[in-house]
Structure 1
Amino acid sequence: MTERSQLRLFRTSQDPSPAAGVAEAFDAARLTQARRLAGLTKAALAQQVGVSGAAASQWEARTSPPRPDHLARLAEVLEVPVEFFAVGRPYAQLDGSAAHFRSLRSTKAAQRAKAVAFVEQMWELTYALEKHVQLPPVDLPGFLPDDTDHLPDTPAAAARVLRARWGLGTGPIPHLVRTMETHGIVTTMVRFAGADTATIDAFSTSRMPRPLIVLTPDRGNDVYWHRFTAAHELGHLVLHRDAAPADPEQEQQADAFAAEFLTPADRIRDQLPTRVDFTALEQLSRAWGVSLKSLIYRCRELGTISDASARRAYQRLNQLYELGIIGQDPVANYPGEVPSLLHKAFELAESNGTLTMTGLARELRWRLPRLRLLLGHPDERPVLRLV
């Protein structure tokens, strides 16, 4: 037995708590991930743990691991099992610059860091589930390393080619999110950042082993806006895989892709009114699953109405929303627009007897509430608070 092994056994015999063993196998990257998920700076974390800011920085810099008592406190503050901080499980680290945020300028750095850490966990969950269930293969041109098939560079052409590849024809797409999931794109819509979720718009990344799109429930009160956002992020995946985010032109290109993907110009042009007719637009809105605002923009873009008519239509539309004459239709009413890939994968594994919620949480070293949340199974029970 080596001197190091003897020392490890000695320490464990002196302190048999889980924290003692984790201190010997501490993974600094896990601490960084948990801190970002909690939305804390190193200084704020250090204050809550009761150590200096320098100590917290040294932990994450791999200069020195935290003591067992500090690990126990870290687990309490960051709401993870103490075993979360140990090495020994796959970890795909994502750089914050590799995610396309729908509203990058209004998303603070701490919120982006929290969102990126969430994506890392979504990959871990997907990886764990794929040990038990075969998920749909990724069918996105140019995504896989050995795939030499690439979509055209122009947004509209790329949208048309992808529609053809997926066999969607030229008509309305009834279940957009379900369609993306059946082609191997991991899609999620959970309140992953608590109250901060409302301040983070949708985002996506193609830098993980599977393409991933994050849709936020606070932006899902309107199914039509939700569908356009999903198509917008799909546009980023196919058009901007190797491009650096934060380019306004990329956002315009993703919008153009979404418009053509949801409402192909050759098919919808003849259906658009030649004057602003909200009754006709409402019927088209429901038939194609897009918002009135998107249809007005499409009318102007395809030349069926003038710019001046479009401006007046937007003004009138805003008035109708303010008066409550036109309301929003929540995503919850449309199962095909609610992500279900990972949730169904777990249910299949569970029904085959190969996986349990407790076993999966133990494998991932997460708390059960966190696992339920990411699977789309949040605990709906009321919380009893004693005062």
Structure 2
Amino acid sequence: MGIIAFHGERLRLARVALGLTLDQLGERVSATRQFLNQLEQGLKTPTKEMQAALADALGVAGHFFVLPATAGIRPEQCHFRKQRTTPVSIVSQVLARGTLLDGFVSRLDHELDLPPVTFPDIAAASAIEIEEAADSARTYWRLGTGPISNMMRVVENAGAVVSFFRGVSERVDALSIDCARPMIIRSEAKPAACRLRFDLAHETGHLIMHRGVQTGDKTTEDQANRFASAFLLPRSSFIHEFPRGRFLDWSAIYALKLRWKVSAAAILRRAYDLHVISADQYRTGYIHLSKTGQKRFERRDDEIPSETPELLPAAMKALEMTYPGAVGRLIAESGLGPDMFAHVSGLELPPARADGVNVVPLRFYQ
């Protein structure tokens, strides 16, 4: 017996989010590739038994396939590095997972008073324009010209949700998705806090400068890198503090690293971009970092405290502790099972409140 409604696009969305081919899904549910392709194309409708098997295999709720099909995340909304050389399958996974996570975050947004989205829209292309955009963003967010103590909180206070995609993050360092509630997806395997901070600033540059622009090429990546450098190391302060001399003062550079929480490599690049050091000095510094084994792990990396996402976990915890079962309800309304939710959010369900006391102020709730 056929079911009342079935949206084949939703089947494809869940399959691609898990990185499964039609053949791989077919092995899980004992169906042919051709049959599953016909389901996704809307040419056939599965039985209730097949729908249940598909839901179980994909980690979604049974009603996932009957929810209205949404437009989903478009390629121009998604920014991540080396997009032109990244396999199409990885791009598709990112878009599918972003769409599923956005469905949950949108529902959460209706339940809680999350920070308003305040990323300014500043088109910038030239070096001068990018410097001005970074300065304008700092001014807009009232960050001053000193070191940013916590870059994670900057983007979350601006309304972005920060999380990670398991598996995909091993192939992609970081990415951002420009939607109603912007999402920045990080790599769970980032080796150093200062590199994660740079990634967050890089994605902030995309969200500010490249709204509606297809990115991933060298030009837009260089622009985002320049923005990150200017945002984390403002020109006026950096020029004043960087140690000038015939030879690079590494002790002073590492002191700057600890103060500004930016890698030595990024400090050297910033100095070169601002013409504080010569091309020869920059090359010498780069070679030194390479020869001393500091291309991936730099000295004093472990002295910079790590930064972890707080907004989404705190919002889920607040909602669950005030209204037990609410997070599970939102996940169910999104059509996701616990496994798929963990897959697209990098988070587990918050623990249920054990007592009967509301420990979270109701002001968090709309």
Give the TM-score normalised by structure 1: 0.81
Question: Cα deviation per residue 1:246-267 (whole Å; 9 max; x = unaligned)?
Answer: 3321111111111111101111
Contact 2:61 2:332 in 1 (8 A): no
1:329 partner letter: D
- Cα gap change, 1:52 to 1:375, in 2 (>3 Å): closer
In the alignment, is residue 128 of structure 1 matched against residue 112 of structure 2?
Answer: no
Distance (whole Å) between structure 2 residues aligned to residue 351 and residue 106 of structure 1: 44
Equivalent residue, structure 2, for 1:81: 61
What per-residue deviation string (whole Å, max 9, x for no partner) do you get for residues 216-262 of structure 1? 112x2211111111111111111110212233211111111111111
Instruction: Report how far residue 161 of structure 1 moved.
Output: 0.6
Give 1:185's aligned residue.
160
Task: Find 1:58's aligned residue among 35, 38, 58.
Answer: 38
**Following TM superposition, by how much is the alpha carbon of 1:289 offset from its aligned partner in structure 2, in angstroms?**
1.2
Say if 1:232 and 1:161 are closer, same or farther in 2 by CA, change over 3 A: same
Of 277-286 and 266-275, the range deviating more from structure 2: 266-275
Check if 1:141 corresponds to 2:120.
yes
Cα distance in structure 1, aligned partners of 2:340 and 2:55: 14
Q: Per-residue CA shift, 1:273-329, capped at 9, x if unaligned? A: 223111101110111111000011112222222211211111211233369882643
Partner of 1:344: 314
Contact 2:116 2:159 in 1 (8 A): yes
1:13-52 superposed matches below 5 A: 23-52=3-32
Higher relative contact order (CA 8 A, sep 6+): 2
Which one of the candidate residues 199, 213, 238 is aligned to 2:184?
213
**TM-score of the superposed pair, with normalisation by structure 2:** 0.85
Residues 106 and 181 of structure 2 are in contact (CA less than 8 Å); yes or no, is this contact kept in structure 1? no
Contact 1:171/1:267, CA 8 A, preserved across alignment: yes
Judge which range, 58-67 or 254-263, deviates more: 58-67
Report the secondary structure of 1:329's partner residue.
helix
Q: Is the 8 A contact 1:37 1:193 kept in 2?
A: no
The residue type paired with residue 326 of structure 1 is R
Q: Give unpaired runs (5+ residues) of structure 2.
A: 351-366
CA gap of 1:97–1:375, structure 2 versus 1, over 3 A, is closer
Please give the alpha-carbon distance, in whole angstroms, between the structure 2 residues aligned to 1:98 and 1:51.
34
Match of 1:104 among 83, 90, 98: 83
Number of residue-to-residue matches in the alignment: 344
- 1:213-292 equivalences under 5 Å are 213-218=184-189, 220-274=190-244, 275-292=247-264
**Is it true that 1:175 corresponds to 2:150 in the alignment?**
yes
Decide whether aligned partners of structure 1 residues 118 and 248 sit closer, same or farther in structure 2, where only a CA change above 3 A counts.
same
Pairing of 1:348-387 with structure 2 (within 5 A)? 348-353=318-323, 355-372=325-342, 377-378=347-348
Identify the range of structure 1 (303-312 vs 287-296) with the bigger mean alpha-carbon deviation: 303-312
Matched residue, 2:171? 199
Q: State the distance in 2 between where 1:185 and 1:325 align.
A: 29
Q: 1:319 and 2:291 equivalent?
A: yes
Question: More deviation in 124-133 or 352-361?
Answer: 352-361
Superposition deviation, residue 98 in structure 1: 3.1
Larger Rg: 1
| Local SS of the residue matching 2:42 | coil
Q: Which runs of 4+ in 1 moved over 4 A?
A: 150-153, 322-325, 372-376
Q: SS of the residue aligned with 1:24?
A: coil
Alpha carbon RMSD of aligned pairs, Å? 2.6
Percent identical residues:
29
Match of 2:176, SS state, is strand
Q: Give the structure 2 partner of residue 7 of structure 1.
A: none
